[in-house]
Amino acid sequence: MCPMRIHLVYLDPFSIYPPHYSVGVGSVAAVLKREGHEVSLSYVRNDRDAEDFCRFVEQTRPRVVAFSSMSSMFPWVKKLAPMVKRVAPGAFTVCGGVHPTLEPACLGETDGLDAICRGEGEYPFLNLLEALEKGQDHSRTESFWCKAQGEVTRNPLGPLVADLDELPFPDREVFDYEKICAPGNSVRRCGIPDKRAGEFLFTRGCPFDCAFCSNRALRDLYPGKYVRFRSVDKAIEELHSMIDRYKLEVILLHDDIITLNKKWFYDFFTRYANSICLPFVCNSRVGTCDEDMMRLLKEAGCHLLVFGVESGNDYIRNRVLKKGLAREKIIETFALAHRHGIQTLSQNIVGIPGETPRRFIDTINLNADLEPNIPCIGIFHPYPGTELGKLCVERKLIKNDEISFVERTDTALELPGFRANHIRYYHDNFLHLVKRRARGKTRGLFSPERLIPPYPIFAGIIRRHEEGQREASPGPFGRTRWALRAVLGERLYARLRSVRRKILRNAGSDGT
């Protein structure tokens, strides 16, 4: 096959966090490079990045422009695909990722998009490129839906990659990885001081049936073995290679459940402890980690262990979300980690279908009992193709089809009994509410027991007054900033500051 120029597009719109690395996009790039293709990438976060992307496409004229998209990113695919066709009419446009996999009808709804890839894309993408290069009928490529003259050709899914060891290590050069792994970037939310951090993924798939998660919906598409592991030899080899190359000081393991396969777990972390032993962050699941495993995690250098709690209400957690976790087991697991000196992060959700403020109070109370080092929360998002996503469509809970925010930071639903502004209130103030409950303060205006906060706009003022932060910003300008942050809230204040910096930058000031 003759080398082709392929331009990848990673979408990260609205994000308030520094750029991050996508292992999935890196894996596709690595396979393309191994076959000799020329690969470049645009990281699009805002309109300015979109303009730079279009200029690059116009100047370089790639043969294929490939987007990767989750649900909240797809409106940007709809925006950028027609722009590609305007500046480079000969470019073939394709989109892969979770959203087109679970919502393939998006192809017919998107002008300028020629095809979508469903499921794992490394080898199907190569097959598509070969058909394009040879002038063959690419519309019959396995795992692709292709569109021509308004007609969509639907092809069956190809098989999963059975042996992950046959894939090359994910490519990092296509991203600005030196910037991504820079101190304080990836580990900002993990409670680790500024260190150079690298991100890794050695497994694919999850066997559990959580109703809100795309993993279950993806697993339902594939018969046979869905959960797969890279061999320990290859995992350790990749770690050594990237640690040496990028001088990494912290490892972020993004595997869904690192404690899932005990044989793999013991082999991997025994060798990790003996040959690497850098601090690391990983994900586990309540009920999959016993005393001996926790001891090995500590010996290997585990700094933070992430668990999905999701909800403190038994009905919501087990009947709606279908987590299948007993409250007592959750408490026992967090206590076990703390007993071994491992910090914990609890992942929680607010705004779940069927949830009410009273039921959400159980989530605050459970987190106060767990005492995680980092209580983390996101707002429920109805992912297409998931059990709860379908339920939201059936019950007409979704406000509109176009999502204009980062998923999990705002609600896309209209829930009876749980107003959107109250969902945002509990999301924005979750950490403080948990701390207050843990200190035994359960009465007063800012108490979770009040259920519905009567004056949410003043919550920030009350919080900062209680925490004694007013004196932290001395001087008249410091007091003004404090008042603005208190009244507007952190997110709106951050946006205001961003706009101010842009204005001052254009005027020749640094915005400080």
SS3 at position 233? helix
Structure tokens at 138: 């690419």
Distances in Å between the alpha carbon of 343 and those of 244, 325, 329, 348? 27, 21, 18, 17
Specify whether domain 5-154 bears CATH 3.40.50.720: no
Query: Would you place residue 194 in the very low, low, confident or very high pLDDT band (cuts 50, 70, 90)?
Result: confident
- What mean pLDDT do residues 152-170 have? 96
The residue type of 97 is G
**Looking at the predicted structure, is the pLDDT value of residue 448 above 70?**
no
pLDDT band for 480, please (50, 70, 90 cuts): low
Is the confidence at residue 487, as pLDDT, over 70? no
The mean per-residue pLDDT over the stretch 475-495 comes to 56
Give how far Cα 5 sits from Cα of 1, 43, 168, 176, Å: 12, 17, 20, 19
Annotate 60-106 with DSSP letters as a single string. Answer: H--SEEEEE--GGGHHHHHHHHHHHHHH-TT-EEEEESHHHHH-GGG
pLDDT exceeds 90 at position 306: yes
pLDDT score recorded for residue 17: 73
Q: Which of 248, 241, 246 is nearest to 196 (CA)?
A: 248
| pLDDT above 70 for 5 | yes
The mean pLDDT of the chain is 87
Torsion 97-100-106-107 (CA) sign: positive
Confidence of residue 183 (pLDDT cuts 50, 70, 90): confident
Q: What is the pLDDT of residues 398-438, one digit of tens each?
A: 887 665 556 677 888 999 989 998 999 999 999 989 998 88
pLDDT at 456 over 50: no
Q: What is the CATH number of domain 181-467?
A: 3.80.30.20
Mean pLDDT computed over 99-123: 95
Reported confidence tier of residue 500, pLDDT bands at 50, 70, 90? low
pLDDT of residue 267: 98
Q: Alpha-carbon distance 306 to 328, whole Å?
A: 18
Sketch the domain layout of the chain as residue ranges: 5-154, 181-467, 472-506
Contact yes or no for 127/82 (Cβ under 8 A): no
- pLDDT recorded at residue 434: 93
Strands 92-96 and 38-44: unpaired
pLDDT tens per residue, range 124-159: 999 999 999 999 999 999 999 999 988 999 999 999
d(CA 273, CA 35): 35
Is there a shared CATH topology between the 5-154 domain and the 181-467 domain?
Answer: no
DSSP assignments along 101-155, one per residue: HH-GGGGTT-TT--EEE-S--HHHHHHHHHHHHHT--GGG-TTEEEEETTEEEE-
- Please give the share of the chain, as a percent, with pLDDT higher than 70: 83
